[in-house]
Structure formats: structure tokens, C-alpha cells
């Protein structure tokens, strides 16, 4: 009888030690709790839920021990990935993560964004491009901060791109530059980027108000000229040629963005437009979110480095906003008061949230002032600007 | 804290980055401005061609008197005049008096931005939820 009980107890012990419960360490538990926090932010606070919810669930899955859904070792060397091994040994999330690692998903998301973007405000006021460029200063100035805090070149570039306030661009750059050996992961960058994008309406207004005078905020801008169909069709083609020739590494993002836009503006590809902006984009968003979330293993989040990324991320957003507004002030002076500097902050991208913030801050000064369309110019210019900045980072940071 | 990146590289990234981003977007500004000028030139020429020399006078039979249109130019003006005259005629029918619409002038640019009160109200309603 004693022997039977012994066998029973031994079996229970074996089961226990080979189950997830037996392997649940405190880092896993902390990470699972953190994933709950992000799920809460996505569901209850509606922080970019379409991405933050899959990301936080990916975070949960990857931190449940022994599931082997995501295997960081398979992606250890970013320059030399053993695809054969991934296909043979990889789990579900390893295979999905290939879409991120091979840079497929972010450009496909850009394709969908292109079909939803109206470049007319930018075409009718091309000077908006300058504000979209100015707001990218947040990226490059944050690179200095990351360098000072002891990050390597590839890590610093991945952190800096958070300042572009553009999720797919941030994932595009960081997934290319970061290997499993880095102190941070693509998931870390995505978490910071999407959280701060959701916080744009809280981060930006104080900076905008501090840098502008009441008189500047009350400027009513001239009505934009109407833009013809031919112009709207030529624009995406021309931008692709100019940007791809100048910065070839920005071509995947800008090219797909402009393809999406051309499909929309051509007016003859309705079926493709519908697929790009709905089914394709939704499928890619799920794959992207859950696999990027899977890179947030405990050794990447419960570290001092993650805290630094969070701090540098908010600095990047703030500098981007400030430099956009300051450049807006310069344009206000140069044009003799025709440009409202508030539209400069929309240059950080984060479409259309940042433009809405410009509208809201402007309307709080003068309720009859409508800056929304004027702010959409720098806003969409910011998307092109961030993609260009991403291309620059990828070509100079090795 | 030890820095892993030499300062020369840091400045190289910052300066190259800012210069290239501005350069790319300035190129786009130049291109878009040029083609914007070309297209608005074409649009104006076409507009000038299709614009009739005189805006025809609009006669509304009942109950309002003839309408003079000093500031009218756009194609849809006849419709606007008809709508306004009809509204005036309704009022006239109610209180039994005859009104004559002598002139209709466009105020502001007619596109909302501090132009018409209704336009402004509509825009506000569309943008306020944000």
C-alpha cells in the first residue's frame, strides 16, 4: 500500500515539476501582472486598443512558462537568422514574428494607412512639410539622450524612433536593429510608442500652451485651396520616386503608404482599397500585435533599461511637439502672422490624434477657429517625415 | 555611466538625420509647389473660359419681385437665389405681405471659416467631439 501511495505522490510531483505551475518564477508572475495593466489600459481606458490589446495578450502568452510559443534564442543574431531552425522548431508566435522580423507587417499596415489618408491639406499647403520635418527633431535629439544613458547604437536608434510617434515605423526600425541579445526588445519599443501615442492629448497641450502666446494661438488661417483629382493622383507617385531615390531604405514604408493612397485616389480600385483598409490591415494588425507583444519577455521588461525607455519615450514625444511648435512660431513670424503655430505640434504624426489636439487647443482660444484641416497637413507630412527618419537611421546605424 | 557610442558618431547621426529629413521634405515642397502652381493655373484658365460674360437675371414669377444679383459668379448661384426667394415667399404667404428680393450678396468667403454663421456652426459641430 505504501508503495502505491509513493508512486502516486511521485507522479504528482513529476506532473507538478513539468507543468507551467512548477516553472512559474516571480519574473513571470510580475510580467503577467504587467500584461494585465496594459490590457486594462487598452480595454478600460481605450489606449490604442486595436494594437495594445493584442500586444498585451502576446505579453501574457510569452510569459507563461513552457508554452514555447516564442523562442528568443531563435532571433539572437539580428544579422544572421537561422530560418531553417525557426521553421522546424519555432512556435506559433515565432512564425508570426517572422513577418515583423522580415519587415513585412509594418509596410502592409502603411498600405492600409495610405488608403485612409487624404493628402489634400498637404498638397494645398506644401509648407506643412517643414513642420512635419521639424517635429522629427524629437527622434534625433532623443538619440543623444539614449547614448548618454549607455545604450548601444542600435538600441539608441530604436528608442529614438519612438519620437516619430508612429507605431509601424518604430516596429520597422527596432525589429531590424534589435537582436535577442539587446537589452531591450521590439516589444519594449512598441509598448512605449503606443502608450505615448494614446497619451498625446495629455502630453502635447501643456507644451503647446507654454511655447505660444495668446495672440499666436488665436490666428485664423486662410482657407485651403481645393485640390484636383489629377494632383491627388500625381502626388503619391511623385513622392515615392523622390523619397525612394533619395533614401532607398525608406522605400518599403513610403512606397506602400503611397501605393495605398494611389489606390484610393485613382478611384478605380475600390475592391483593393476596401481589402487594404479592412481585412488585410486587420489581419496584419493582429499578427503584428501579438507577435511583437511576445518579445516582451521578463528579461526585457523588469530591467532598469525599460524604465529608461519609458523616460526617453516621453522626452522624445515632448521634444518632437516642442520643435514642431517652435518651427510653427518661426513660420508665424516669416509669414507675418498667417500661420498658427499650434499646427506645428501635429507634425509628430500620430494621425489623426495630434491634429485633433491642435484643433482643440486652437478652439479653446477662439471657438470659431478651425485648425483641424490645417493641422492635417503637418500631420500627414509627419508620417512621411518619420518614414524618412527611419530610413536614415537604418542606413547610418549598424 | 559609460557611453557605448562615441560622441563623434552621436553628432554624426543627429546632424545627418536632421539634414536629410529636411532635405527630403524641402525637395517635396519644391515639387508640390511647382505642380500646385501649374494645376491652379490650369484650373483658373478653364474657369475663365467657362465663365459667361454676364450673369443672367433671374425672374421669379410669384410672389416675389425680380431679383438682382450683383455679387453672383459661381454656377450654383441660381439655385441659391431660388432657395432664398422661396423662403422669402413662404414668409410672405404667411403674413400676407409682398416682399421683393432686391439683391443677394455673398458674405465672407462662404466656406465657413468666419464666413457664414451656419457654416461655422456646422464646422464646430463636426470638430467638437474631438
For residue A171, is it within any domain?
Answer: yes
Q: What is the reported pLDDT for B49?
A: 82
C-beta separation of A339 from A368 below 8 A:
no
Q: Within 13 A of A346's CA, how many CA atoms are on the CB side?
A: 31
Across the interface, do A242 and B31 touch by the CB < 8 Å criterion?
Answer: yes
For residue A37, is it within any domain?
Answer: no
Percent of chain A surpassing pLDDT 90: 84
Same domain (yes/no): B15, B61 = no
Say how many CB pairs under 8 Å bridge A and B. 134
Across the interface, do A140 and B20 touch by the CB < 8 Å criterion?
Answer: no
Same domain (yes/no): B80, B108 = yes
Rounded distance, CA A168 to CA A103, Å?
Answer: 10
Q: What is the reported pLDDT for B112?
A: 45
Compute the Cα dihedral for A347, A349, A354, A355 and give only its sign.
positive
The confidence band for B109, taking pLDDT boundaries of 50, 70 and 90, is low
Global ipTM: 0.89
C-beta separation of A150 from A133 below 8 A:
no
B47 to chain A, any CB pair closer than 8 A? The answer is no
Q: What is the reported pLDDT for B113?
A: 52
C-alpha radius of gyration, chain B, whole number: 28
Query: How many structural domains does chain B have?
Result: 2
A158 contacts in chain B (CB < 8 Å): none
Q: What is the reported pLDDT for B72?
A: 47
- Nearest Cβ partner of A126 from B2, B21, B33? B33
Nearest chain A residue to B130 by CA distance is A356
pLDDT digits (tens, 9 = 90+) for A350-383: 888 999 999 999 999 988 889 999 999 999 999 9
Q: How far is CA A314 from CA A35, A284, B10, in A?
A: 20, 27, 20
pLDDT digits (tens, 9 = 90+) for A298-355: 988 899 999 999 999 999 999 999 999 999 999 999 999 999 999 999 999 888 899 9
Same domain (yes/no): B32, B12 = yes
Across the interface, do A243 and B24 touch by the CB < 8 Å criterion?
Answer: yes
- Mark B19-55 as b/e (b = at least 16 C-beta within 10 Å): ebbbebbebbbebbeebbeebbeeeeeeeeeeeeeeb
The confidence band for A55, taking pLDDT boundaries of 50, 70 and 90, is very high
Q: What number is the average pLDDT over the span B91-119?
A: 70
Q: How far A201 CA sits from the closest chain B CA (Å)?
A: 10
Q: What is the reported pLDDT for A4?
A: 92
Nearest chain B residue to A134 by CA distance is B22
Q: What is the reported pLDDT for B14?
A: 95
Q: What number is the average pLDDT over the span A158-185?
A: 93
Report the Cα A397 to chain-centroid distance in Å. 19
Same domain (yes/no): B67, B88 = yes
pLDDT digits (tens, 9 = 90+) for B18-29: 999 999 999 999
Same domain (yes/no): B41, B83 = no
Q: What is the reported pLDDT for B110?
A: 47
Report the Cα A150 to chain-centroid distance in Å. 23
For residue A24, is it within any domain?
Answer: no
Query: How many structural domains does chain A have?
Result: 1
For residue A46, is it within any domain?
Answer: no
- Nearest Cβ partner of A238 from B4, B31, B113? B31
B111 contacts in chain A (CB < 8 Å): 223
Across the interface, do B21 and A372 touch by the CB < 8 Å criterion?
Answer: no
- Nearest Cβ partner of A156 from B5, B24, B120? B5
B32 contacts in chain A (CB < 8 Å): 122-123, 126, 129, 235, 238
Same domain (yes/no): B77, B45 = no
Q: How far A381 CA sits from the closest chain B CA (Å)?
A: 8
Can you give the residue range of the structural domain that contains B14? 1-51
Nearest chain A residue to B37 by CA distance is A124
B8 contacts in chain A (CB < 8 Å): none
Q: What number is the average pLDDT over the span A23-31?
A: 92
Higher pLDDT, A254 or B46: A254
Across the interface, do A384 and B25 touch by the CB < 8 Å criterion?
Answer: yes
> Which of B37, B39, B111 minimizes the C-alpha distance to A373?
B111
Same domain (yes/no): B42, B59 = no
B24 to chain A, any CB pair closer than 8 A? The answer is yes
Same domain (yes/no): B120, B83 = yes
The confidence band for B94, taking pLDDT boundaries of 50, 70 and 90, is confident
Across the interface, do B114 and A368 touch by the CB < 8 Å criterion?
Answer: yes
Rounded distance, CA A321 to CA A196, Å?
Answer: 12
Across the interface, do A231 and B23 touch by the CB < 8 Å criterion?
Answer: no
Same domain (yes/no): B64, B95 = yes
**Per-residue pLDDT at B75 exceeds 80:** no
B2 to chain A, any CB pair closer than 8 A? The answer is yes
**Per-residue pLDDT at A74 exceeds 70:** yes
For residue A71, is it within any domain?
Answer: no
**Per-residue pLDDT at A243 exceeds 90:** yes
Q: What is the reported pLDDT for A18?
A: 85
Same domain (yes/no): B101, B85 = yes
Whether the link from the prior residue into B63 is cis, omega within 30° of 0, is yes
Can you give the residue range of the structural domain that contains A159? 104-396
Same domain (yes/no): B42, B60 = no
Instruction: Indicate the average pLDDT of chain A.
Output: 93
> Whole-model pTM?
0.83
pLDDT digits (tens, 9 = 90+) for B82-92: 888 888 888 88
pLDDT digits (tens, 9 = 90+) for A384-398: 999 999 999 999 997
B33 to chain A, any CB pair closer than 8 A? The answer is yes
Same domain (yes/no): B113, B69 = yes
Q: Is A170 helix (H, G, I), strand (E, B) or coil?
A: helix
Rounded distance, CA B128 to CA A374, Å?
Answer: 16
Amino acid at each position: 500500500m505504501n508503495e502505491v501511495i509513493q508512486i502516486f505522490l511521485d507522479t504528482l510531483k513529476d506532473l507538478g515539476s513539468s507543468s507551467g505551475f512548477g516553472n512559474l518564477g516571480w519574473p513571470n508572475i510580475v510580467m503577467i501582472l504587467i500584461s494585465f495593466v496594459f490590457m486594462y489600459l487598452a480595454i478600460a481606458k481605450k489606449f490604442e486598443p486595436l494594437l495594445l490589446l493584442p500586444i498585451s495578450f502576446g505579453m501574457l502568452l510569452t510569459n507563461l512558462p513552457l508554452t514555447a510559443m516564442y523562442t528568443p534564442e531563435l532571433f539572437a543574431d539580428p544579422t544572421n537568422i537561422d530560418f531553417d531552425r525557426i521553421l522546424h522548431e519555432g512556435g506559433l508566435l515565432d512564425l508570426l514574428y517572422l513577418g515583423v522580423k522580415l519587415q513585412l507587417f509594418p509596410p502592409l499596415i502603411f498600405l492600409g494607412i495610405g488608403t485612409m489618408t487624404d493628402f489634400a491639406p498637404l498638397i494645398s499647403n506644401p509648407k506643412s512639410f517643414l513642420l512635419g520635418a521639424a517635429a522629427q527633431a524629437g527622434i534625433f535629439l532623443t538619440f543623444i539622450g539614449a547614448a548618454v544613458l549607455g545604450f548601444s547604437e542600435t538600441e539608441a536608434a530604436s528608442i529614438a524612433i519612438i519620437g516619430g510617434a508612429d507605431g509601424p515605423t518604430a516596429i520597422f526600425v527596432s525589429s531590424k536593429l534589435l537582436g535577442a541579445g539587446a537589452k531591450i526588445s521590439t516589444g519594449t519599443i512598441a509598448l512605449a510608442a503606443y502608450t505615448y501615442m494614446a497619451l498625446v492629448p495629455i502630453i502635447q497641450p501643456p507644451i503647446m500652451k507654454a511655447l505660444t502666446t495668446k495672440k499666436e494661438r488665436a490666428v485664423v488661417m486662410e482657407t485651403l485651396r481645393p485640390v484636383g483629382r489629377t494632383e491627388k493622383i500625381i502626388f503619391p507617385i511623385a513622392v515615392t520616386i523622390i523619397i525612394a531615390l533619395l533614401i532607398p531604405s525608406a522605400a518599403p514604408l513610403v512606397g506602400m503608404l503611397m501605393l495605398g493612397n494611389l489606390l484610393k485616389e485613382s478611384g478605380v480600385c475600390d475592391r483593393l482599397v476596401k481589402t487594404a483598409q479592412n481585412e488585410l490591415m486587420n489581419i496584419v494588425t493582429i499578427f503584428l500585435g501579438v507577435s511583437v507583444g511576445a518579445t516582451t519577455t521578463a528579461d526585457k521588461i523588469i530591467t532598469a533599461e525599460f524604465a529608461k525607455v519609458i523616460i526617453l519615450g516621453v522626452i522624445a514625444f515632448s521634444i518632437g511637439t516642442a520643435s514642431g511648435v517652435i518651427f510653427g512660431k518661426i513660420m508665424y513670424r516669416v509669414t507675418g502672422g498667417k500661420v498658427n503655430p499650434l499646427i506645428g505640434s501635429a507634425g509628430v504624426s500620430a494621425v489623426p490624434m495630434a491634429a485633433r489636439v491642435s484643433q482643440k487647443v486652437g478652439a479653446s482660444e477662439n471657438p470659431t477657429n478651425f485648425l483641424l484641416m490645417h493641422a492635417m497637413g503637418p500631420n500627414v507630412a509627419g508620417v512621411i517625415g518619420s518614414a524618412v527618419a527611419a530610413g536614415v537611421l537604418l542606413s547610418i546605424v549598424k | 555611466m559609460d557611453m557605448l557610442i562615441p560622441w563623434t558618431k552621436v553628432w554624426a547621426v543627429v546632424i545627418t538625420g536632421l539634414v536629410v529629413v529636411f532635405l527630403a521634405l524641402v525637395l517635396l515642397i519644391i515639387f508640390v509647389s511647382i505642380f500646385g502652381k501649374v494645376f491652379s493655373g490650369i484650373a483658373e484658365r478653364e474657369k475663365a473660359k467657362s465663365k459667361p460674360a454676364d450673369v443672367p437675371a433671374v425672374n421669379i414669377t410669384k410672389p416675389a419681385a425680380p431679383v438682382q444679383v450683383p455679387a453672383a459668379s459661381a454656377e450654383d448661384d441660381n439655385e441659391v437665389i431660388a432657395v432664398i426667394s422661396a423662403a422669402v415667399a413662404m414668409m410672405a404667404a404667411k403674413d400676407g405681405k409682398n416682399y421683393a428680393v432686391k439683391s443677394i450678396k455673398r458674405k465672407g468667403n462662404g466656406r465657413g471659416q468666419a464666413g457664414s454663421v451656419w457654416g461655422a456652426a456646422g464646422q464646430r459641430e463636426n470638430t467638437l467631439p474631438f
